[in-house]
C-alpha cells in the first residue's frame, strides 16, 4: 500500500473559510429579481424568510467567508471526509484511469447536506429564530436539517415530496428521531398544497410544490424562517468545504483531476466539489480540466431547458432566478433519485454552463442503477440513487480512458449513501424498475410552455 486507499486530512487541516467563486468570475452573475417589482433583490427583500447573515452571504462578493468555530466543531463530528481511491472499480473496468471519490456519506444524516444545514441552523439560532420550515425530495436534506436543528435546539418542519415520502419511510423516522415533524407534500396544511391537491389529488408532488408550502409557512408564522437545501448562492458557498478538502487531499498525493464529475438536482453537492477548482480553469493553471454535471433524462434541466428567469417554486412566491429550467410548473415523473427531481438549477452552475466552462449530460434510470450496483459490488459502499448518475458518467469516462489508453485522474462526488433507498435497489434487483413512462411527453409539454418568464 504505497498510496493509501483513503486520503485523509486532520481536523486541523479542515478549511477555516468557505470559498465564494463569484469573487473570481470574469463575468457578472445575472441578479436575483424581486417577484413583484422585477428589480434586483436587496437584502431587505430576503430578511422576512432568511436570517440576515445568510442574506449577506447570498449577496456577497467577498472571496472568503470565515466558518464560525461553532460550525467547525460540529463539522468535526465527520469532517474532513475521506477521499477514496476506487481501485476495485478500476480493476473491474480494466481502465488505466485513476478514480477517486469524495465520500460525503459519513455525516450523521448520510450526505453532504449537513455542510449547509449546520451553518443555516447556526445563523438562524444566532438571530433568535425558534423554528425552521423546509422541503425535501428524497429526504437527504430534510434529515440534514432535522439533525442540525436538534443540535441547535430549533424546532423543524419538513414538507417531503409525496413520492419519496411513500418510497422511503425510514427517512421520516430518521427526521423524527432528531425531533422534527415531517408531512407529505402537497399537504392540506398550506394554501399552495391545497391548490395542487384540488387540481390533482393523485399528484406525486415535486420539489417546486414543497418549496411553496415551506415558504408559505415561513411567511405566515412569526416564529419560523425558511431554509433551502440547494440552488442559492449561500448554500453553494457552504458546500465548498468539499472541494477545498478534495484539492488539499489530491495535492497531498501529488494528483490533480482531469475530470470532475457529480450529479446535480439543485446542484449543491457537485458545486461544492468543483467550485474551488474553477479559478484554475480561469487563471490558466488547469485550462483542460473538465467538469461534468449529470442529471436524470426524466428531469433534464441543464441538457434540455432554456436559460431564462423562472421562479424557484411552483406557486411563484420565490424571487426570480436566471437558470436553466423546465418551468416552475413541471412535475417530474416519479424517480428514485428524488433529490434530482427539480425543475431548475443553481444559478451559479447555470452561468458556468452558459459560459461553456462546464458540461452536462443526462442519463436514464436503468443504466444509472446498473452503474450504482456495479459500484456497490466492487467498492462495497452502497450509493444513493442520486450519485449513481455520477457513477454512470465515471464508468463511461473510465471506459473511454481504456479505449484511448489514457491514465486520466477522475474525481467524483459520492454525495450520500443509499441505506434509506434500498426499496429502489429491491425494485432494480427484481427487474421491476422501469424507465418512467411519461418522461418524454412530460418534458416536451413542459418545454412547450417555456419560457415561463422571458
Q: In terms of CB distance, is 226 or 428 closer to its own copies? A: 428
Residue 329 touches its own copies, criterion: CB under 8 A: no
Residues 291, 277: Cα–Cα separation, whole Å: 9
Q: In terms of CB distance, is 14 or 360 closer to its own copies? A: 14
Residue 10 touches its own copies, criterion: CB under 8 A: yes
Among the residue ranges 108-116, 237-245, 301-309, 316-324, the one whose residues contact its own copies (CB under 8 A): 108-116
Contact 228, 138 (CB under 8 A): no
> Considering Cα of 346, then 352, then 358, then 362, what sign does the dihedral take?
positive
Closest contact distance (angstroms) between CB of 344 and its own copies is: 31
Contact 107, 74 (CB under 8 A): no
Closest contact distance (angstroms) between CB of 124 and its own copies is: 18
Residue 368 touches its own copies, criterion: CB under 8 A: no
Residues contacting 389, CB < 8 A, separation 6+: 263, 294, 295, 296, 337, 340, 363, 368
Give the one residue of 84, 156, 209, 236 binding its own copies; rule: CB under 8 A. 84
Closest contact distance (angstroms) between CB of 382 and its own copies is: 6
Residue 88 touches its own copies, criterion: CB under 8 A: yes
| Number of shown-chain residues binding its own copies (CB under 8 A) | 42
Contact 240, 128 (CB under 8 A): no
The interface mask with its own copies, positions 392-421, x = CB under 8 A, is: ---------------------------xx-
Residue 150 touches its own copies, criterion: CB under 8 A: yes
Give the one residue of 43, 176, 200, 434 binding its own copies; rule: CB under 8 A. 176
Classified as helix, coil or strand, 231 is: coil
Residue 377 touches its own copies, criterion: CB under 8 A: yes
Burial of 379 (0-12, 13-18, 19+ CB in 10 A): buried
Burial of 282 (0-12, 13-18, 19+ CB in 10 A): middle
The DSSP H or E segment spanning 440 is helix 439-448
Residue 179 touches its own copies, criterion: CB under 8 A: yes
The DSSP H or E segment spanning 90 is helix 87-93
Give the one residue of 135, 379, 386, 439 binding its own copies; rule: CB under 8 A. 379
CA-to-CA separations, 33 to 1, 29, 268, 453, in angstroms, rounded: 54, 12, 21, 11
The DSSP H or E segment spanning 372 is helix 365-379
Among the residue ranges 101-109, 198-206, 322-330, 399-407, the one whose residues contact its own copies (CB under 8 A): 101-109
Residue 282 touches its own copies, criterion: CB under 8 A: no
Give the one residue of 47, 219, 382, 447 binding its own copies; rule: CB under 8 A. 382
Q: In terms of CB distance, is 421 or 439 closer to its own copies? A: 421
Sheet strands (E) in 400-441: 409-414
Q: In terms of CB distance, is 6 or 406 closer to its own copies? A: 6
Give the one residue of 174, 231, 242, 371 binding its own copies; rule: CB under 8 A. 174
Amino acid at each position: 500500500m504505497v498510496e493509501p486507499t483513503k486520503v485523509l486530512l486532520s481536523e486541523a487541516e479542515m478549511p477555516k473559510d468557505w470559498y465564494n467563486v463569484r469573487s473570481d468570475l470574469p463575468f457578472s452573475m445575472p441578479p436575483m429579481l424581486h417577484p413583484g417589482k422585477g428589480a434586483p433583490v436587496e437584502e431587505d427583500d430576503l430578511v422576512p424568510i432568511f436570517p440576515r447573515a445568510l442574506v449577506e452571504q447570498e449577496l456577497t462578493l467577498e472571496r472568503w467567508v470565515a466558518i464560525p468555530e461553532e460550525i467547525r466543531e460540529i463539522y468535526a463530528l465527520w469532517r474532513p471526509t475521506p477521499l477514496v481511491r476506487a481501485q476495485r472499480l478500476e480493476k473491474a473496468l480494466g481502465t488505466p484511469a485513476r478514480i477517486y471519490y469524495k465520500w460525503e456519506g459519513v455525516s450523521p444524516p448520510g450526505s453532504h447536506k449537513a455542510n449547509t444545514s449546520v451553518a443555516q441552523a447556526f445563523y438562524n439560532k444566532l438571530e433568535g429564530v425558534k423554528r425552521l420550515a423546509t422541503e425535501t425530495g428524497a429526504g437527504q436534506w430534510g434529515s440534514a436539517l432535522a439533525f442540525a436543528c436538534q443540535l441547535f435546539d430549533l424546532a423543524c418542519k419538513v414538507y417531503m415530496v409525496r413520492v419519496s415520502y411513500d418510497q422511503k419511510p425510514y427517512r421520516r423516522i430518521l427526521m423524527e428521531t432528531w425531533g422534527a415533524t415531517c408531512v407529505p407534500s402537497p399537504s392540506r396544511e398550506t394554501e399552495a398544497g391545497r391548490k395542487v391537491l384540488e387540481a390533482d389529488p393523485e399528484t406525486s408532488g415535486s420539489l417546486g410544490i414543497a418549496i411553496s408550502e415551506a415558504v408559505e409557512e415561513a411567511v405566515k408564522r412569526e416564529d419560523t424562517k425558511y431554509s433551502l437545501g440547494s440552488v442559492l448562492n449561500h448554500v453553494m458557498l457552504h458546500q465548498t468545504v468539499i472541494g477545498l478538502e478534495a484539492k488539499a487531499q489530491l495535492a497531498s498525493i501529488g494528483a490533480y483531476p482531469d475530470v470532475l464529475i457529480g450529479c446535480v438536482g439543485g446542484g449543491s453537492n457537485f458545486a461544492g466539489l468543483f467550485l474551488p477548482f474553477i479559478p484554475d480553469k480561469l487563471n490558466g493553471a488547469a485550462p483542460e480540466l473538465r467538469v461534468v454535471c449529470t442529471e436524470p433524462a426524466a428531469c433534464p434541466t441543464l441538457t434540455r431547458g432554456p436559460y431564462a428567469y423562472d421562479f424557484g417554486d411552483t406557486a411563484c412566491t420565490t424571487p426570480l432566478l436566471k437558470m436553466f429550467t423546465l418551468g416552475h410548473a413541471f412535475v417530474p415523473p416519479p424517480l428514485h433519485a428524488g433529490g434530482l427531481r427539480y425543475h431548475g438549477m443553481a444559478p451559479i452552475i447555470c452561468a458556468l454552463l452558459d459560459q461553456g466552462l462546464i458540461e452536462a449530460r443526462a442519463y436514464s434510470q436503468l443504466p444509472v442503477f446498473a452503474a450504482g450496483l456495479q459500484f456497490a459490488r466492487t467498492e462495497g459502499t452502497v450509493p444513493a440513487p442520486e450519485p449513481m448518475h455520477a457513477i454512470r458518467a465515471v464508468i463511461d469516462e473510465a471506459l473511454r480512458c481504456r479505449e484511448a489508453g489514457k491514465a486520466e485522474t477522475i474525481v467524483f462526488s459520492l454525495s450520500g449513501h443509499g441505506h434509506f433507498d434500498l426499496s429502489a435497489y429491491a425494485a432494480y434487483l427484481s427487474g421491476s424498475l422501469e424507465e418512467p413512462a411519461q418522461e418524454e411527453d412530460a418534458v416536451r409539454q413542459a418545454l412547450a410552455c417555456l419560457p415561463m418568464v422571458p
